[in-house]
Amino acid sequence: FYKNNNPPKEILVNFSLDQIKIITSIISKKADNLVTIRNPQRGKKLELIKMVKENVQSNLNNHKMNDQNTLKLIKDYLEDIKTLQARFSQTDYMGEIMTGDLFLKKPGKIRFSYDPPHYLQIVSKQQAVLIFDPKNSGSGPLTYPLSYTPLGFLIKNDLSSLISENGESFELNDSIFLKIQNPQYQISIEFNKNPVSIFGWEFKNQMGEMIRIRLKDIRKNNYISDEIFKTEKDYERFKK
């Protein structure tokens, strides 16, 4: 702290310092005058330290309370989503941009349908995510366990364990960010603040590759047919 700030003539601490003479000498040299470090055991200076400690603890408690309130707002918003449609823009770790349509229906159904010339389809099926990539036609879709992807925050009905165990939130300007980290991935989800609505997310996979998704033209809780999430036509196109 005192590397970029001028030290006061007296510094109060609430613990014993090893090598206090060396530390005092270094800080005094920085201040260009004698600095005293004290660990008061009684009197007004001890009361001052107690008051500072109480203020710090109070601020920490307020921060935790605000954080819990923010997490509840996010949880309530996400759990209120029954269906969601949106246009999306995806930027991968190489800077390539792809666009398409997102379809979501709880519980457990999601499809990313990419625009030409990519024709990529990512769709959930039971507890797996299937990736139909025309570049890999003839070998079957790539398949990953749903738990290894960051899509759980979108398609789960109950987000209590996901958010409360791994979630950390903070606010910046008109946005709220929720960070979730587990062994498979790290994800930062961005929400508009007033009213709360999802804006997009960034996630890093086990390879350290960062992918960013941004949403627009969001339609929430409109009817979506289950036909959109069936994969028979995807398999047919994949064989051609």
What tens digit of pLDDT does each residue of 6-46 get?
Answer: 777 777 777 676 667 777 777 777 667 777 777 778 787 77
Residue 142, pLDDT > 50, answer yes
Residue whose pair of structure tokens reads 């992807």 in the numeric block:
149
What six digits make up the tokens of 214? Answer: 């941004």
Tell me if 101 sits within 8 A of 116, measured CB to CB: no
Predicted pLDDT of residue 237: 77
Predicted pLDDT of residue 65: 40
Predicted pLDDT of residue 69: 77
How many C-beta atoms surround the C-beta of residue 81 within 10 A?
Answer: 17
Residue 150 burial by CB count (10 A; 0-12/13-18/19+): exposed, middle or buried?
buried
**Strands (DSSP E) found in the chain:** 10-12, 36-38, 83-91, 97-105, 109-114, 121-125, 128-132, 142-145, 167-172, 175-181, 186-192, 197-204, 210-220
Residues contacting 25, CB < 8 A, separation 6+: none
Predicted pLDDT of residue 225: 96
Residue 208, pLDDT > 90, answer no
Residues contacting 184, CB < 8 A, separation 6+: 147, 148, 149, 205, 206
To the nearest whole percent, how much of the chain has pLDDT over 70? Answer: 82
Q: How far is CA 149 from CA 1, 102, 238, in A?
A: 40, 16, 23
Residue 157, pLDDT > 50, answer yes
**Cα Rg of the chain (Å, integer):** 26
Residue 63, pLDDT > 50, answer no
pLDDT band at 91 (very low <50, low <70, confident <90, very high): very high
List, for residues 115-135, the tens digit of each pLDDT value: 998 889 999 988 889 999 887
Predicted pLDDT of residue 62: 46
Predicted pLDDT of residue 148: 76
Report which of residues 231 and 165 the model is more confident about. Answer: 231
